[in-house]
Amino acid sequence: MAATAGKKRKEIAQTTRPPVVVVLGHVDHGKTTLLDYIRKTNVVARESGGITQHIGAYQVEHDGKKITFLDTPGHEAFSAIRKRGAAVADIAVLVIAANDGMKPQTREALEAIRAAKIPYLVAFTKIDLPQADVQRAKTQLAEAGVLLEGWGGDVPNLEVSGKTGTGIAELLELLLLVAEVAELKDTVDEPFWGVVIEAHRDSRQGPTATVLVKSGILKVGDVISAGTVVGKVKAMENFLKNSVTEASPAIPVVLLGFNDVPDVGDRVLTFDSEKEAVAAAEKEASRRTFEKILGGQESEATLAVIIRADVVGSLEAIVGELEKLANPYVALHIVSADTGEVSENDIDQAEATRAQIFAFRTKIRGQIALRAERTGVKIHMLAVIYDLTDIVKRALQDTVPPEIIREDLGQVRVLALFRDEGTQQIVGGRVASGIIRKGEFAEVMRDDRLLGRGRLKEVQQNKIPVDEVKQGNECGMLIEIKGSIDIVEGDMLRVFHEERRERKLF
């Protein structure tokens, strides 16, 4: 019996599993439309479930064979998630609009695919538009080093439409063919590990995570860790929102049981005991830095922000975009970044740090909003990441100190003090070098030490008001001084022109 069971397990391990496919490309190249068409026509209706609306992955069936799609965000802002998505996928589909061709986001997606070292195919979308030019897009791909089938290479490609369904069946067949060539083996008898595809904090049920099983079997009751968080699987649902007790490779499931929200891309592992799981999480936590101060470390100017997002994927994308705004002039201080609703604690933190709160696709309760209004805490409710970054850009621009351009004009040796009226003093002197002008700034120097600064309100030569006095000439000056400085005979006035210009960050 034991030999028979062992043979059976070996046979199971040698059976193929569903391929995991990620679709990448430019935000406007029809990725979402394509995935929506595949989902609507190849996924059976979902039953009512109770865990989450955020799934991040689903399965379709074509000719009796299953394909798992990672529904990763397609915007440039989600570059990090796309790269992680490609890393956990078996096959990638690079989407290129026939009317638009290669774009920077297309190249970024291509680099993510190449870095993941997975097979891929190219799908040309929007083929029904009058401006569609597939040949031009193929030429651009060739210039980028992608050699398509029929163009001297072996990268499969086809034309599809997410609106009419043209080419969708062929796309699914091609994916299954690529998977067959890749010989994706099932690994149900190997130790479990999976990857967090999506995660968020549910107001009623706490932390939830979509996990794609990569190896072994995950069961309800398993002790788990993901990055710095731990837990025990309390419940699982599949992509149809049906309750399940276990999940095998290439199956996406939503699970409850983590003690906190894990990060997207975290590896999920199982342990024999909670003690082992906690030890693994603590080891991982020691490697991570929780506070981010982006750029401007040498500047006194700081913009503090608190971020609340609907899911971890959004949160990471936002932080990724904010990292791009780092600059040498204003430090962008992320006081706190987490998923969930805006809380009383967020208002407390915002007051203490003078931070602005950015709530991305999440909520704020009435009494908390009223308190924020009373205390002057700014809260931005947003649903588009680039709206958020635009506001942060404007805030950084408003915070950045101006560029100060200084031009040294001349120096005056003080020969006499005629009148001292506190902040205004009348002195006489000789221009030792350069030129001095009415209205310019002056630094008061004594024994090469800077005592303070002021401004030349009036300049006279031979008791006649003038605009400027050149080297070698004597003059009288009315100086408006900042602070309590008494100018005395022998002091040197360094006169300079100062211009403040707005510093453009973006």
CB 474 within 8 A of CB 451: no
pLDDT reading at 466 higher than 60: yes
Tokens for 392? 């942060």
Q: Which residues contact 424 (CB under 8 A, 6 or more apart)?
A: 457, 478, 479, 480, 481
Q: Which residue carries 């929102």 as its tokens? A: 241
Q: What's at 286, amino acid-wise?
A: S
Highest mean pLDDT among 103-107, 355-359, 402-406: 355-359
Is 473:430 a contact under the CB 8 Å cutoff?
A: yes
For the domain made up of 292-399, the CATH class stated in words is alpha beta
Asked if 213 and 325 count as a contact pair (C-beta separation under 8 A), the reply is: no
- Fold match between domain 18-182 and domain 193-285: no
Please give the residue that has the higher pLDDT: either 86 or 381: 381
Helix 79-88 to helix 312-323 angle (10° resolution) is 130
CATH architecture of 18-182: 3-Layer(aba) Sandwich (3.40)
Architecture per CATH, domain 403-501, reads as Beta Barrel (2.40)
First-to-last C-alpha distance (Å) of the chain: 71
Q: What is 193-285's CATH topology?
A: Elongation Factor Tu (Ef-tu); domain 3 (2.40.30)
Per-residue pLDDT band for 290 (boundaries 50, 70, 90) equals very low
pLDDT digits (tens, 9 = 90+) for 102-161: 988 888 888 888 877 889 999 999 998 888 899 999 999 998 889 899 888 899 999 999
Q: What is the pLDDT of residues 36-87, one digit of tens each?
A: 888 887 664 443 344 434 457 888 889 889 999 987 654 343 345 444 454 6
Mean pLDDT of 305-309: 94
Residue spans per domain, the chain: 18-182, 193-285, 292-399, 403-501
